[in-house]
Structure formats: C-alpha cells, structure tokens
C-alpha cells in the first residue's frame, strides 16, 4: 500500500486529510460514525478569547452549487475548548490544528497567547476572514499590509507554527500569500468561503448572507493553491469543494501538502474516511510509493 503519512511542522500525521474548520463540531459529534483518530489532523471550529454567540437563524442554506453558512463564528471560547475537549484528542492521540480569530488585532494576539504549546498541537490556524473593527469592517485578510502586520505581531507571542487561512475575496491572493510569508508565517490554508447571498423570490427577502462553500469553491481554491504554492516556499493546506478522492488528488497535484474537507461531510458523513482509503488505493494502483511524489506534480509541466 502507498505510504500516506505526512511530515508537517516536524510532526508526523498519519495521512494528509483533515476536516475543514467549523465543519466537524468539537470532534466528539462524529464518534457514532467514525472517530477523529481517522483524520491526519483535527481542525477546531474557530475559537476566540471569549465565547461567541454567532448569528441569528437561518445559519445554513443549501444552494444548487454548494452551501451558504452564516454561523457567525459561534464558539465556546479557547479556555473551555482546552478544558472540556482537548483531553479527548490527547486520549485519542489525534493531532490538532487550532483555528482562531479575533475582531481586533489585540484579540488575535490574545488568542495566540492563550494557546500553550503541546506535542499534540501541530499548528495554529489564523482565520484572516474576520471583520476588522478599527478599519470599519474591512476584513483582516484583504490587504497585504494588514496581513503583514497581524502575522508579524501574532508570531512574536507564540512558538507554535502559524498557518494563515486566507479569504478569496481579494484582488490578488498571491500578493497576500507573499505578505504573510514575508511576515514569517509557517504555512497557508487556502481558502475560506466566498461571500454570497440568497433571495427568497416568494417572500421578496434576503434570508441569508454568508459564505459559500462546496463544489462552487473548488476551482477558485485550486487556482489559489496552484499559484501560491509556486510563489511561496511554505506548506499549503488546500480546502474548498473537495467532495471525493479525485478532488483531493487535484489539490495535492496543484501543490497542497494536505487537504481539508468541509461541506462534503454534510452531504455524506463518511466522505473523509472514504477519501483516505481511496487515496491509498490510488497511490497503489499508480505505483507511487509515497504521497510526497504527487505533491505539486503539475508544477513540472
Ligand atoms: C458550517 C461552516 C462553518 C465554518 N466555520 C469556519 C470557522 O469557524 N473558521 C474558519 O476558518 N472557516 C470556517 N468555515 C470554512 C471552512 O473551513 C472551509 O474553508 C470552507 O467551507 C471551504 O471548504 P468546503 O468547500 O470543503 O466546505 C466554515 C464552513 C462551514 C460550511
């Protein structure tokens, strides 16, 4: 069988497949079907310094091309996650990436300070798609200068490797990736959801504005992974519309070291274990001894 363990920031993950932040609750919810130890790494829901209530309903909307969510980053806060859930991941020997966010730069810094290094923590994943209160709601991830500043400042308060998760809602994502790299980020997660809205024609209302994910995001995310992985020499985790093993392979071939699966789990909760199994089969059938051999293979064209 092809080898699928992956070295990431000095830690060995048993495979390169993770859940996307916010799409597997706090990890325990999937237990009746399969366990978090199946994952290469578990990615937490976005956590903040204090618990956050999120947005009013409706929060999820099914679209023809994917799904719109407006959860609004509801979460129990860093302190409670580490007290109530982290011991479960320790017991299961499952590596964790901690996704976090803030509404001000100080909150981002505060989050990074609160999360203490642990051999089970692979990285912090900084969600740069949040509104910046000081700049009148312009997201932190939209301008190269803001990204540079926030990454640089967060890096000074943590020894844990730092991933910047970028929004596609920018003029040029490569420019943002380069700014994050120059500020010292250790890796990138590409991409977050795409801003979207729904109109209810019968009621003549807009029932939900939120982030679009699923199949419609895939080609946007693939392009970001392909171009950013050529531009910066740091690991990239690809996410957006991965529904099956072929999609996962496309991201690895485009230059991603690992992939995350979100919306697909809502359609079929077994998508992640299936992708892991079929990735092994693909490597075998195609005589690849190691998953490393297909990462970025499209760059050789
Ligand atoms: C219900 C839901 C909640 C999400 N919550 C977060 C979050 O807390 N932090 C974050 O960085 N991304 C969050 N995301 C974005 C996903 O992690 C992922 O980047 C996006 O959905 C694209 O992947 P997909 O098409 O496989 O779902 C969320 C997505 C969904 C659908």
pLDDT in tens, 29-47: 999 999 999 999 999 999 9
pLDDT exceeds 90 at position 184? yes
**Ligand 1: which of 73, 139, 262, 263 to mutate, judged by most atoms within 8 Å of the beta carbon?**
262
Ligand 1 centre to CA of 12 (Å) is 24
Query: pLDDT at position 1, please?
Result: 66
Mutate to test the pocket of ligand 1, among 17, 21, 126, 248 (most ligand atoms within 8 A of CB): 21
Q: For the residues 204-208, what does the mean pLDDT come to?
A: 97
pLDDT band at residue 130, thresholds of 50, 70 and 90? Answer: very high
Catalytic choice (41, 111, 130, 228): 130
Give the pLDDT score at 242: 98
Q: Is the CB of 256 under 6 A from ligand 1?
A: no
**Residue 124 pLDDT exceeds 80:** yes
Instruction: Indicate the average pLDDT of the chain.
Output: 97
Residue 296 Cβ contacting ligand 1 at under 6 Å: no
Which pLDDT value is given to residue 231? 98
Q: How confident is the model at residue 190 (pLDDT cuts 50, 70, 90)?
A: very high
Query: How much is the pLDDT for 204?
Result: 98
- CA 67 to ligand 1: nearest atom: 31
Q: Are 277 and 270 in contact (CB under 8 A)?
A: no
What pLDDT does 3 receive? 81
Active site residue 130: yes
- What is the per-residue pLDDT for 70? 96
Q: What percent of the chain has pLDDT over 70?
A: 99
CB distance 21 to ligand 1 below 6 Å: yes
pLDDT at 179 over 70: yes
């Amino acid at each position: 069988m092809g080898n699928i363990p992956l070295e990431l920031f000095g830690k060995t993950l048993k495979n390169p497949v993770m859940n996307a932040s916010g799409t597997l609750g706090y990890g325990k919810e999937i237990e009746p079907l399969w366990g978090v130890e199946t994952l290469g790494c578990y990615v937490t829901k976005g956590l903040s310094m204090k618990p956050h209530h999120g947005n009013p309903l409706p929060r999820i909307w099914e679209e023809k091309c994917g799904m719109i969510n407006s959860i609004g980053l509801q979460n129990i806060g860093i302190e409670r996650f580490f007290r109530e859930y982290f011991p479960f991941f320790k017991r299961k020997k499952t590596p964790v990436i901690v996704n976090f966010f803030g509404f001000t730069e100080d909150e981002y810094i505060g989050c990074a300070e609160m999360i203490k290094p642990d051999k089970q923590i692979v990285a912090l994943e900084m969600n740069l798609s949040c509104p910046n209160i000081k700049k009148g709601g312009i997201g932190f991830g939209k301008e190269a200068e803001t990204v540079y500043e926030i990454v640089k400042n967060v890096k000074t308060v943590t020894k844990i490797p730092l991933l910047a998760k970028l929004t596609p809602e920018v003029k040029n994502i490569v420019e943002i990736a380069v700014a994050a790299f120059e500020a010292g980020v250790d890796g990138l997660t590409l991409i977050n959801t795409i801003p979207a809205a729904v109109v209810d024609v019968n009621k003549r209302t807009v029932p939900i504005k939120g982030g679009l994910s699923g199949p419609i995001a895939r080609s946007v995310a693939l392009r970001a992974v392909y171009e950013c992985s050529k531009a910066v020499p740091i690991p990239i985790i690809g996410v957006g519309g991965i529904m099956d093993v072929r999609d996962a392979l496309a991201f690895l071939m485009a230059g991603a070291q690992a992939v995350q699966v979100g919306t697909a789990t809502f359609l079929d909760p077994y998508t992640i274990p299936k992708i892991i199994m079929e990735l092994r089969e693909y490597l075998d059938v195609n005589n690849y001894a190691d998953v490393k051999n297909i990462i970025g293979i499209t760059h050789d064209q």
